[in-house]
Chain A
Amino acid sequence: MQKKKVYPWYFALVSVFIYTLLSVIPGILGICYSFTDWSAYSQYIHFVGFKNFISVFSGENDYLRYISNTLLFTFVTVIAKTGLGLLFAVALSRNIKWKNFHRGILYLPSVLPILVTGLVFTSILNPKTGFLNNFLSAVGLDFLTNKWLVDPKIAFGSVMAVDIWRGTGYIMTLLIAGILAIPDIYFEAAAIDGANAWQRFKYITLPMLRQTLAVTIVLNVIYGLKVFDMVYALTNGGPGHRTEVLYTAVYKMMSKGLYAEGTTISSVLFIFMVIIGYFMVKILTKDEVVE
C-alpha cells in the first residue's frame, strides 16, 4: 500500500495553511517589526536595531514590570492550582459520598466565559457593596475586609485568587482521572503492608501521577503567560499599572498607536514561549512519539 497515495498531503493543507497564515506569520512578522519604529503617527517605518528591546529591558519604562507581573501571576497560580487541585483530587477520587456532585460543581467555573467570571467578581469584591466584605462584617471578621481590587498592595493578589477560584477544578479533574488510572492493587497491597494514607500518597499516588502533573503544569503555564480576560475584566491593569500583564499592556499600546513597543513585548513572549513550548510539546506528545 502506497502511503503517499492513500493519505494524500492535501488533506492537511487547509489546517496548516490557516494556522500558518493567522498564527505563525504574525508571530514572525512581529519579530521583524520589533526592530523598527513602527507607529500610528508616521507613515514611514525605519530600522532601529535593538532599540526597542533595550528600552524594554533597561527598565526605564514600566515594561519590565508587565513582564515580571506576568511571570509572578503564572508562578503563583500554577503553584496554587496544582496544590489545591491535588488536594481536592485526592479527597474526591475514592470513598466519599456525593463525589460526582462535588466534582461537577468544582469543574463548573472552567466552562464559563472567563470574562463573565471576572465581571461577577468585580461586584463580589467591591469594597462598599460587595458580597465578600458584607459577609465578613456580618460574621464579625471586620478586620479582614479589604479594598480588594482597589488597594494597590493587594489588588494583584485578588486577581490571582479569582483565577485560582476559576482554574482549580479543571486541574483537579485532570488529576482525578490520573489517580483513577492507577491500578487499585497498588493501594491494596500498600494497605496490607501497613502503609498509612500519607505514605500511600507519597509513595504511590505522587510518583504515578508524574506525567499527569507535568501536563497540568504545562497547560497552566501556557494559560498564565497569556492571561488577558481575567485581568481586563477585574482591574484592566489598574490601580496604576499594578496588575498590568503582558496582554493588557499590549492592548493599551495598540490603542495608543505604539505598534513597535507592542510588537516588541509580544515578541519577547513569543520567543520565550516557542523555546519552552518546544519542550512542553515534547512532554505532551511524549507517549505518541514512542509508540
Chain B
Amino acid sequence: MVYTTKNKIVQIIFKNILAWFASLLVIIPLLLVILNAFKADGETINMTLELPKQWLISNFSTVIEKGKLVKSFFNSLIYAGVGTLLTVLFGSMAAYVFSRRRSKGMERLYMYVVLGMVIPVNYVTLTKTMITLHLTNTTPGIILLYMAMQTPFTVFLIYGFVSKIPVELDEAAIIDGCKPMQLYIKIILPMLKSAIITAGVLCFLNNWNEFMMPLYFLHSSEKWPMTLAIYNFFGQYEMSWNLICADVILTCAPVLIMYLICQKYIVGGQTAGAVKG
C-alpha cells in the first residue's frame, strides 16, 4: 500500500513537470512577442525577455499606419466573414440533403465532396482557371476560393449533426403543409444552431489565417488581407522587430479573441469528427 501511494506521488510530480515544461515552451515565444512589441527601436536588436525600459504603445499606431493595417483588417474581415457565411449556408443545405436522402447516388456525391478535405490544390491550373473566369485580384474571386476550400470540411461536420435530428420532425412539418425551403429554414436550421456556429467559427479561423490563396491571387496591396500585409511588412522592416511584434499581435488578436470566446465550439468541432463517443 505504501508502495502504491509513493508511486502515485512520483507520477503526479512527473505529470506536473511535463505539463509545466510544455506550457512554458509555448508561453515563452508568445511572451517574447508581447514584451518586444512595446520596446523602443534599439532595444529589439536582441529579442530578450527583459521588460521594456518604457512601455511604448505608439508602436501599434506606427504599425497600423505604415503597414496599412486598417485596410487589410477590413479586407480580411470581408473575405473571411462573407466566405464563412456563404460556405456555412450552402454547405449546411448540401449536408442536410446528403444526410436525409441516403440514396446510393447522394452517398457517392457526399463522398465526392468530402474527398475535398484531402485533395491538394493544383495552383498552376487553378491560376489558369481563375484568369479564364476573370476572378484573379477580385474580392468575389477570393471569396469563391475560400468557399471551395472550406466546403468539404463544413459539409462533413454538419452532416454528422443532421442525422441526429429526428426525421419525424420533417414528416410532421410536411403534413402541416411546409414547403422544402420553409422546412429547412424554420425547422432544421434552428436545430442545427450549435453545429452551424462550430462550423462557422472554424471556417472563419481558417479563412482569416489563409496565406497561400491571397499570395497567388491578390496582386495589388489594396486587396491584401492581414496575413499578406504582415509578410510584406516583415520584408520591409526586417530590423524593426518591435514593430513586427506589434503587427503580429494585431494580426493574431481577432483569432485569439475568437479562441477565448468560442473555445468550446472550436475544440468541440475539431473533436466531433475525430471522436465518436
Contacts and interface: CB of A to CB of B under 8 A. Distances in A.
B224 interface: no
Given A26-B125, A114-B209, A3 B114 contact: no
A281 B19 contact: no
A197 B9 CA distance: 12
B248 A120 contact: yes
Nearest to A87: B18
Interface string B238-277: 0001001000100110011011000100110011011111
Interface in A105-146: 105-109, 111-116, 119-121, 123-124, 129-131, 134
A266 B122 contact: yes
Interface residues of B, number: 103
Interface of A: 1, 3-9, 11-12, 14-16, 18-19, 21-27, 29-30, 33, 87-88, 91-92, 95-99, 101-102, 104-109, 111-116, 119-121, 123-124, 129-131, 134, 165, 169-170, 173-174, 177-178, 181, 196-197, 211-212, 215-216, 219, 222, 225-226, 228-229, 232-233, 247, 250-251, 253-254, 259, 262-263, 266-267, 269-270, 273-274, 276-278, 280-281, 284-285, 287-289, 291
B16 A270 contact: no
A120 B119 CA distance: 29
Contacts of A101: 23
Interface of B: 7, 11-12, 15-16, 18-20, 22-23, 25-30, 32-33, 45-49, 90-91, 93-94, 96-98, 100-101, 103, 107, 109, 111-130, 144-145, 147-149, 151-152, 155-156, 159-160, 163, 170-171, 174, 180, 183-184, 205, 208-209, 211-212, 215-216, 227, 230-231, 234, 241, 244, 248, 251-252, 255-256, 258-259, 263, 266-267, 270-271, 273-277
Contacts of A287: 276
B140 to A, nearest CB: 11
B181 to A, nearest CB: 9
B115 A277 contact: yes
Nearest to A165: B25
26 contacts: A1-B174, A3-B103, A9-B97, A11-B93, A15-B113, A22-B126, A22-B145, A29-B128, A113-B209, A114-B211, A115-B209, A115-B227, A119-B234, A120-B29, A120-B32, A124-B29, A130-B47, A134-B48, A174-B271, A178-B274, A226-B120, A226-B121, A262-B124, A270-B122, A284-B156, A287-B276
B37 to A, nearest CB: 11
Given A12-B97, A29-B129, A288-B159, A107 B267 contact: yes
User: How would you classify the secondary structure of chain B's contact residues: helix, strand, loop or mixed?
Assistant: helix
B111 A285 contact: yes
